[in-house]
Amino acid sequence: MSRHDRIIEALKKELSIIIHDEIKDPRLGFVTLTKVELAPDKRFAKILYSVLGKEEERKKTKEALDSSLGYIRKLVGERVKLRFVPELLFSEDRSLEYSSRIEEIINEIKEDAAKEKNELKKNRRTNKKSR
């Protein structure tokens, strides 16, 4: 594992601990960190997260993360030994929501296909009886 990858893993681990255990903001919803992207010069880190809940809860969580950004960065600087603490940018990852929606659509298509198949069988039986 490269140094870059080790730094990413350390950032993700510490950010998870900080967000779940140390930020006491009531606006903060159930947050899961999905990915940390670190610039090659290690000065910027984009943290992708997902939130369970409705749009209102997502907005409140984004506000909570943005308002505690300085505190989070300070704690990261104390825990992860780097020459420069990267600037952090939180961005919501909606890929889980997107994949759930695709799965719903696929299931609906399967149900519709099964209904059509049953209707065809039913029609064939009634046509045979009428002959």
Specify the pTM: 0.72
Q: With 70 as the cut, is the pLDDT of residue 130 above it?
A: no
User: Taking the domain 3-93, which CATH number applies?
Assistant: 3.30.300.20
pLDDT band at 131 (very low <50, low <70, confident <90, very high): low
Q: Is residue 32 within 8 Å of residue 66, measured between CB atoms?
A: no
pLDDT classification of 52: cutoffs 50, 70, 90: confident
Per-position b or e across 76-108, b if 16+ CB within 10 A of its CB: beeeeeeeebbebebebbeeeeeeeeeeeeeee
- What is the model's pLDDT at position 49? 94
Report how far residue 118's alpha carbon sits from residue 123's, in angstroms, rounded to the nearest whole number: 9
Nearest to 25 by CA among 58, 53, 60, 75: 60
Q: Is pLDDT of 98 > 80?
A: no
Q: How confident is the model at residue 39 (pLDDT cuts 50, 70, 90)?
A: very high
Report the residue count for the chain.
131
Q: Is pLDDT at 58 greater than 80 in this prediction?
A: yes
Q: What is the mean pLDDT of residues 66-80?
A: 94
Q: In 3D, which of 80, 87, 96, 103 has the Cα closest to residue 31?
A: 96
pLDDT at 126: 73
